[in-house]
Structure 1
Amino acid sequence: MSYGSIWMLIGHIIMWPDEHIHSLIDLKFREVHNISSRNLAMIVANYEYPVNNWMKSGILGMVIATVVTMLIMISYIFFAIQIHLSLVACSLSDAVKRLHSSLLKSLIAQTIFPLTSTIIPCFVIWFLPIAGDGYGVMLSTYFMPLLSIYPAFDPLIVTFSLSDYRNAILTMIGYKKHMEGSSKNSKPQFDNIFTLVPVTEN
């Protein structure tokens, strides 16, 4: 939530286009996308024509967004290490530890996937136009699809990170057949998380 709020503030305060920016990009938008830039809600990284002063430059917004993203990624790593150390030191049952370990792996996967498939490619594309004008179309064409891909895959990451969910899905789609003759005494992965202790009268 904080990450999204920061991005919204950066976009509206620093990178929201005014009429001067629209006049610069409108013709190219009509040629490439067949739509006027004035009809779209967008943020603009202004590489060559700072508007009014440096504080309105898109490059400043890019730098702020990059630093904020890096700090958030570092905080993810820090908290993941703290969780792992806490699990090692705690005196919970093995079943609970396995459950927490699976959830931790799921969170790690949920961090690595957007980092490699969305965030890093987006920032590479974001800074490419600094090297030349030929990358502008790539930026406007591929930036938003890369930002939009993660929400579609996020539930799959959680599902396939937890063995019970993963096995259920694989069985449902026919990749893993249910073993009807399995032993009734076999234990599920996360059984006995809570142990009931009978109370006897003295």
Structure 2
Amino acid sequence: MEMNVVIAQYKETHPAFIRDSWIGIGLLSIVSFTSLAMIVCFGCLIVLELKKQSSFMSATTKRQQTQLIKALVVQTIIPTLASFSPCSFSWYQPLFGIDGWKWLQSTNSIVMSIFPVLDPVSTILILPAFRRLKSLSLYLVGTNKDSSAVRVHTASCL
């Protein structure tokens, strides 16, 4: 059986394994924090560029850009809280003697389970065009042997 798993042990093992654990977790931390820093940096650059371009935009375009930036920020924060934070906590909790495996496993599985729902719901709640959505039309196209009539069924979903 092949498995890909990250294991870090900080004590009660061979010193070379402890050193490799520190190097591995350190590199993972650098990659993770660098990606977060890049997200923040590029987000700030986008906002600055939009502010520079705002004199050329109509009021409607400015409002839409503001709403989209808010949605982008929320869609960045949710995965950071749902994935990055618990993962980072699990890497470093043995260092500080925190025994939170059952708590972390339960919490992390719940957060990861609701993440696919939270991501689109947050966008729907932030963007007014989606908030105003009252019903969704489901189009079921069917054909009969005798005719090629199209049946349209509308169902209220919100």
Q: Distance in 2 between matches of 1:142 and 1:40?
A: 24
* Distance change >3 Å, CA 89–CA 158, structure 1 → 2: same
Specify the code of the residue in structure 1 equivalent to 2:37: I
* Identity over aligned pairs, percent: 24
Contact conserved, 2:10 with 2:18, CA < 8 A, in 1? no
Structure 1 gaps, min length 5: 1-37, 174-202
Tell me the SS of whatever aligns to 2:132: helix
Is 1:71 the equivalent of 2:14? no
**Is contact 2:67–2:127 with CA below 8 Å preserved after alignment?**
yes
User: Partner of 1:46 in structure 2?
Assistant: 9
2:70 counterpart of 1:101:
no
Question: Paired residue for 1:125?
Answer: 90
Letter in 1 for 2:123: V
Q: What is the alpha-carbon distance in structure 2 between the residues aligned to residue 60 and residue 120 of structure 1?
A: 20
Displacement of 1:109: 0.6
**CA displacement 1:29-77 (0-9 Å, x = unmatched):** xxxxxxxxx68653323333358656642x3222222222211112112
> Which one of 103, 113, 118 corresponds to residue 153 of structure 1?
118
Aligned counterparts of 1:111 and 1:135: Cα–Cα separation in 2: 26
Cα offset, 1:130, TM superposition: 1.9
Q: CA separation in 2, counterparts of 1:145 and 1:43?
A: 21
Q: CA deviation at 1:167?
A: 1.9
Aligned length: 133
Once residues 152 and 89 of structure 1 are traced to their aligned partners in structure 2, the CA distance between those partners, rounded to angstroms, is 35
Q: For the aligned residues, what is the CA RMSD? A: 3.1
Structure 1's 145 and 46: CA in aligned 2 closer, same or farther, altered over 3 A?
A: farther
Change (3 A) 1:140 1:109: closer
Secondary structure, counterpart of 2:94 in structure 1: helix
TM norm structure 2: 0.64
Are 1:125 and 1:138, in contact at CA under 8 Å, matched by a contact in 2?
no
1:129 touches 1:136 (CA, 8 Å); kept in 2?
Answer: no
Does the aligned pair in 2 maintain the 1:103–1:162 contact within 8 Å?
A: yes
> Residues 53 and 45 (structure 1 numbering): CA distance in 2 closer, same or farther, change over 3 Å?
closer
Question: How far has the Cα of 1:106 moved from its partner?
Answer: 0.8
Report deviation, 1:137: 4.6
TM-score for both structures, normalised by structure 1: 0.52
Quickly say closer, same or farther: Cα 1:146–1:60, change in 2 above 3 A.
farther
Matches within 5 A, 1:156-175: 156-168=121-133, 171-172=134-135
